[in-house]
Amino acid sequence: MNNYNWPVYCRIEKGLLGSITDTILNQFCNKKFIIVSDEFVFNKYACIIKKQLDEKDIKNDVFLIDNSSYENALKIGEKALSEEYDAIIGIGGGKVNDTCKYAAFISKKEFYTIPTTIANDGVCSPIAVLKMKDGFTKSIGTKLPTAIFVDIDIIKDSPTELIKAGIGDILSNYTAIYDWRLASKLGKENSNDFALLLSDMAFNMINNMQKGEKIKEDNFITQLSEAVVLSGIAMNIAGTSRPCSGSEHLFSHTIDRLYNKGNLHGYQVALGAIVSAYLQNRDYQMLINLLKRYNINVSPDNLKLNYEEFIDCWMHAKESRKNRYTILNEIEDEELNTKLKEIYNIIKGEI
């Protein structure tokens, strides 16, 4: 039987920040904390947590980071172990979250995450994306946070572009699910129906939103936050990112590997999902409409990809993860080239 390591606490609410310290102290009975953040977020939000702990005479230390390097994660993990901290409290975006996830994993400490952005589905995923010494990033398996505190007001205050990127990453579930099912049907690997169900639910939560819903409305932020948590749980059940990462993610990884355009991950995978849906003979128009509804422009032009680069990234996408069977393995190069040209022109005319 699988032994899942799920978060034991998850709150997605407005005005949560003020009560997080009390919740942590009452719920988890820990006495010594490392607070991890970046300088900006510390001055805006994390200082409130620190002040509350100080007022209660609870031992805490602050570790500020400016990147999600493997080295930082090791340092925090080592500090947590050698100085016998009970838990790590991470307040920040994806970089803080990923660093803390790995630090908590290697030190076997509890990790409480307070995300300040929802720009991808990494909030609650069992994967940490860390920068290695050679400058390249690596996705490393970790465990999920022990507790998740999403304050709707904090996410609402984050840049709109980051929320749009979060939508893009959830949208990619649509094509990732197909790719994993395809691999499973052909006997290439086992899929997991419950993981697929959660991934599909996350996608439907966003796709089925009321047409007039605005990105910065409480309900929308709540649904998006719940969707990223569900996606993270889906990946945890699967033991792999496959329920939320298929050929559209291979395309995005290839852009990063070959051209490094500095786009938000969610934008790149959303463009990838439109193309993958076209290659899968599925409803790519639904994805275009969804993106248009929220004014999310993922055209190659907007992602600084010219036609040659767009084609090149797709033609080399399979090489990103050779053991990941997707729709790209089903199409010969010549046919792929033709189809890419077709969808490129469709996207150019539509977005």
Site residues (CB under 5 A) for Zn ion?
169
Shortest Cβ 176–Zn ion spacing (Å): 9
Q: Which residue is nearest to Zn ion (CB)?
A: 169
Smallest separation (angstroms) from Zn ion to the CB of 169: 4
Quote the least distance from Cβ 121 to Zn ion, whole Å: 6
Tell me how far apart the alpha carbons of residues 71 and 78 are, in angstroms, rounded to a whole number: 10
What is the closest distance, in whole angstroms, from the C-beta atom of residue 178 to Zn ion in the complex? 16
Least distance to Zn ion, CB of residue 314, Å: 17
Distance of closest approach, residue 256 Cβ to Zn ion, in angstroms: 12
CB nearer to Zn ion: give 12 or 250: 250
Q: How far is the CB of 113 from Zn ion (least distance, A)?
A: 17
Q: Which is nearer to Zn ion, 24 or 270 (CB)?
A: 270
Would you say 34 or 264 has its CB closer to Zn ion?
264
| Residue (119 or 182) nearer to Zn ion, CB | 119
Nearer to Zn ion, 147 or 171 (CB): 171
Our CB check for Zn ion shows the closer of 151 and 169 to be 169
Nearer to Zn ion by C-beta: 34 or 129?
129
